Structure 1
Amino acid sequence: MFGIFKKKTEVDKLQIKYEKLMKEWHSLSTVNRSESDKKYAEAEEIAKQIDFIKTGKA
Structure 2
Amino acid sequence: MFSFLKPDPVKKLRKSYDSILEQAMQAQRKGDIKTYSLLTAESEQIWAKIVTLEAASK
* Structure 2 length-normalised TM: 0.81
Q: CA deviation at 1:28?
A: 0.5
The reply on whether 1:12 has 2:11 as its aligned counterpart is: yes
Using the alignment, how far apart are the partners of 1:8 and 1:38 within structure 2? 28
The answer to whether residue 48 in structure 2 is matched with residue 44 in structure 1 is no
For 1:9 and 1:36, locate their aligned partners in 2 and report how far apart those are by CA, in whole Å: 28
Residue-pair matches, total: 52
Structure 1: gaps (5+ residues): 1-5
Distance in 1 of aligned mates of 2:15 and 2:46: 10
Q: Deviations over 1:21-46 (max 9, x none)?
A: 00001010132000000000000000
Unpaired segments ≥5 residues, structure 2: none
> Structure 1: how far apart are the matches of 2:23 and 2:7?
23
Larger deviation: 40-49 or 6-15?
6-15
SS in 1 for 2:56: coil
Q: Percent identity?
A: 19
